[in-house]
Chain A
Amino acid sequence: MKKCFVLFLMIAAAGQMSVAIAGKGANHSVLHDTARIAYLNKLAEMLLKNNYYDSSMVYSSQAIEISDSLLRLSTVKNNSIYQTRCKMLKAKAMANFSNGLIYNKPNDALDTLKSALKLAKETGNKSLEAVIYADIGNAYNSLSKDKAALVNHLRSVSLFRETGSKKELAWQLNSVGITQRVLGNYGDALEYMMESLKISRSIGDSNTTIEALLAIGFTYAFVEMWDDALKFQAQALDIYREMNDSLGIARIYNDMGVTNMRAGKLEVALDQHKKALAIRLKSKEHYYTFASFLYIGDLLEKLNRIPEAIQYYESAFNYTKFSSFRVSQIDAGISLGRAYQKSQDYDKALNMLTLAYEVALEMDDRSFQAQAALFKAKVYLAKENPRLALFWLHNAEKAAAESSLVFLAEIYQSIGETYSKMGDFRNAYLNQLKYSRVKDSMDVAENLEKIARLSNRLEFENKQALQNQNHEKELILKQAEIRREKVTRNFSLFGMFVAMVLMIIAFIRFVEKQKLNKKLSETLSDLKSTQSQLIQREKMASLGELAAGISHEIQNPLNFVNNFSEVSRELITEVFEELSKGNQQDAMNILEDVKENLDKINHHGKRADSIIKGMLQHSRSSSGTKEPTDINALADEFLRLAYHGLRARDKSFNALMKTDFDQKLGKVNVIPQDMGRVILNLITNAFYAANEKRITGKENYQPTVQVSTRKTKDKVMVLVQDNGNGIPQHVLGKIFQPFFTTKPAGEGTGLGLSMSYDIVTKGHGGELTVETSEGLGTTFTIVIPA
Chain B
Amino acid sequence: MIKILVVDDEADIQPLFEQRFRKEIKSEDVSFEFAFSGEEALVCLDKYLHEAVLILSDINMPGMSGLELLSRIKAKHHDPPPMVMMISAYGDSENQKAAMDLGADGFISKPVDFAVLKEKIKALF
The answer to whether A563 and B16 touch across the interface, beta carbons within 8 angstroms, is yes
Q: Nearest B residue to A564 by beta-carbon distance? A: B16
Type the 1/0 row for A552-567, where 1 means its CB is closer than 8 Å to any CB of B: 1001101110111001
The 8 Å CB contact of B20, one of A555, A562, A567, is: A567
Question: Of all chain A residues, which has the CB nearest B38?
Answer: A654
Instruction: Kindly state whether residue A597 has any CB partner on chain B within 8 Å.
Output: yes
Q: A552-B60, A560-B12, A644-B60 are in contact. Are A597 and B19 (CB under 8 A)?
A: yes
Q: How far is the CA of A448 from the CA of B63 in the complex (A)?
A: 39
- The 0/1 profile, CB within 8 Å of A marked 1, for residues 36-68 of chain B is 000000000000000000000000101111001
B102 at the interface (CB under 8 A from A): no
Interchain CB contact (< 8 A) of A654 among B12, B65, B112: B65
CB-contacts of A565-615 with B (<8 A): 567, 571, 593, 596-597, 600, 604
Contacting pair A651 B95 (CB below 8 A): yes
Question: Is the beta-carbon distance between A647 and B60 smaller than 8 angstroms?
Answer: yes
| Closest chain A CB from B3 CB (angstroms) | 22
Q: Which of A516-565 contact B (CB under 8 A)?
A: 552, 555-556, 558-560, 562-564
Contact B89 A654 (CB under 8 A): no
| Interface size counted on chain B using CB atoms at 8 A | 21
Q: How far apart are the CA atoms of A172 and B90 in the complex, in Å? A: 71
A656 within 8 A of B: yes
If A564-B16, A656-B62 touch, whether A559 touches B68 (CB-CB below 8 Å) is: no
The interface residues of chain A lying within 8 Å CB-to-CB of B98 are: 651
Contacts of B110 in A (CB 8 A): 555-556, 559
Interface residue from B12, B19, B62, B94 paired with A651 (Cβ < 8 Å): B94
A552-B89, A555-B89, A560-B12 known; A567 vs B62 contact (CB < 8 Å): no
Contact of A559 among B60, B95, B111 (CB under 8 A): B111
The reply on A780 being an interface residue by CB < 8 A is no
With A552-B89, A593-B19 already in contact, the answer to whether A600 and B12 are too (CB < 8 A) is: yes
| Contacting pair A560 B10 (CB below 8 A) | yes
Does A53 count as interface, using CB distance less than 8 angstroms? no
A182: interface (CB < 8 Å): no
CB contact under 8 A between A654 and B111, given known A597-B19, A604-B12: no
B80 in the interface, Cβ–Cβ < 8 Å?
Answer: no
Q: Kindly state the separation between the CA atoms of A552 and B60 in the bound complex, as whole angstroms.
A: 9
Distance between Cα atoms of A643 and B65 in the complex (Å): 12
* Interface pair B62/A563, CB less than 8 Å apart: no
A426 shortest CB reach to chain B, Å:
15
Smallest Cβ distance from B124 to chain A, in angstroms? 22
Kindly state whether residue A671 has any CB partner on chain B within 8 Å. no
CB distance from B56 to the nearest CB of A (A): 14
* Residues B15 and A596 in contact, CB atoms below 8 Å apart: yes
Q: How far is the CB of A575 from chain B (nearest CB, A)?
A: 13
Taking CB atoms and an 8 Å cut-off, the chain B residues in 69-124 that contact chain A are 89-90, 94-95, 98, 110-112, 114
User: What separation, in Å, do the CA atoms of A103 and B123 have in the docked complex?
Assistant: 78
Task: Tell me which residues across on chain B come within 8 A of A148, comparing CB atoms.
Answer: none
Contact of B68 among A597, A644, A647, A654 (CB under 8 A): A654
| Docked-complex contact B112 and A563, CB < 8 angstroms | yes
Q: Is there contact, CB below 8 Å, between B20 and A657?
A: no
Asked if residues A567 and B16 are in contact (CB atoms below 8 Å), the reply is: yes
A593 to B68, CA, bound (A): 35
Chain A residues within an 8 Å CB radius of B111: 555, 558-559, 562-563
B62, B68, B90, B110 pick with most chain A CB within 10 angstroms = B62
| Complex CA–CA separation, A634 to B90 (angstroms) | 27
Task: Note all chain A residues with C-beta closer than 8 A to B65.
Answer: 654
**What chain B residues lie within 8 Å of A558 (beta carbons)?**
111
A655 at the interface (CB under 8 A from B): yes
* Shortest distance from the beta carbon of B8 to any chain A beta carbon, whole Å: 10
A643-672 vs B, Cβ < 8 Å mask (1 yes, 0 no):
110010001001111000000000000000
Q: Is the CB–CB distance between B15 and A600 below 8 Å?
A: yes
Contact A559 B112 (CB under 8 A): yes
Inter-chain CA distance A655–B68, complex, in Å, is 12
Q: How far apart are the CA atoms of A644 and B89 in the complex, in Å? A: 12
Hey, which chain B residues are within 8 Å of A552, CB to CB? 60, 89
List chain B residues, Cβ under 8 A from A560: 10, 12, 16
Q: Mark B1-31, 1 if CB is under 8 A from A, else 0.
A: 0000000001010011001100000000000
Complex contacts, A702 vs chain B, CB 8 Å: 63
With both beta carbons as reference points, the residue of chain A lying nearest to B10 in the complex is identified as A556
Q: Which residues of B contact A555 (CB under 8 A)?
A: 89-90, 110-111
A552 to B94, CA, bound (A): 15
Closest chain-B Cβ to A276's Cβ sits at a distance in Å of 62
Report Cα–Cα, A654/B15, bound state, in Å: 28
B63 to chain A, nearest CB (A): 4
How distant is the Cα of A644 from the Cα of B92 in the complex, in angstroms?
Answer: 14
Q: How far is the CB of B21 from chain A (nearest CB, A)?
A: 10
Residue pair B16, A656 in contact (C-beta under 8 Å):
no
Kindly list chain A residues whose C-beta atoms are within 8 Å of the C-beta of B60: 552, 644, 647
- Bound CA–CA A697/B3 (angstroms): 36
Chain B neighbourhood of A596, CB < 8 A: 15
| A contact residues around B16 at 8 Å (CB) | 560, 563-564, 567
Residues of A within 8 Å of B90, CB to CB, are: 555
Shortest Cβ gap from A604 to chain B (Å): 7
Given contacts A552-B89, A643-B62, A656-B63, contact A563 B20 (CB under 8 A): yes
Quote the shortest CB–CB distance from B71 to chain A (angstroms). 13
Nearest-neighbor residue (CB-CB) of A562 within chain B: B111
Cβ-defined partner of A571 (8 Å) among B19, B62, B68:
B19
In angstroms, Cα B95 to Cα A644, docked, is 14
A571-B16 Cα distance, complex, nearest whole Å: 12
- Which of B15, B64, B94, B112 has the largest number of chain A CB atoms within 10 A? B15
Closest residue of B by beta carbon distance from A551: B89
- Chain A residue numbers with a CB within 8 Å of B12 are 560, 564, 600, 604
In angstroms, Cα B112 to Cα A564, docked, is 12
- Cβ–Cβ contact B20 & A655, under 8 A: no
> Which of B64, B65, B112 lies at the interface centre, i.e. has the most chain A CB atoms within 10 A of its CB?
B65
Chain B residues closer than 8 Å to A563, beta-carbon distance: 16, 20, 111-112, 114
The distance in angstroms between the C-alpha atoms of A555 and B60, with both chains bound, is 12
Interchain nearest-CB distance for B12 vs A (Å): 6
User: Which of B12, B15, B20 neighbours the largest number of chain A CB atoms within 10 Å of its CB?
Assistant: B12
Q: How far is the CA of A655 from the CA of B64 in the complex (A)?
A: 8
Q: Which of B10, B20, B110, B111 has the most CB of A within 10 A?
A: B111
CB nearest to B19 among chain A residues:
A567
In the bound complex, residues from chain B placing their C-beta under 8 Å from that of A571 are 19
Q: Which 9 residue pairs are nearest across A and B when measured between Cβ atoms?
A: A559-B111, A656-B63, A657-B62, A567-B19, A654-B65, A563-B16, A559-B110, A562-B111, A560-B12
Interface residues of B (CB under 8 A from A): 10, 12, 15-16, 19-20, 60, 62-65, 68, 89-90, 94-95, 98, 110-112, 114
13 A-B residue pairings within 8 Å (CB atoms): A559-B110, A559-B111, A560-B16, A567-B16, A567-B20, A593-B19, A597-B15, A643-B62, A644-B60, A654-B62, A654-B63, A656-B62, A702-B63
A558-B111, A643-B62 known, 17 other contacts, Cβ within 8 Å: A552-B60, A559-B111, A560-B12, A560-B16, A563-B20, A563-B114, A564-B16, A567-B20, A596-B15, A600-B12, A644-B60, A651-B98, A654-B63, A654-B65, A654-B68, A656-B62, A656-B63
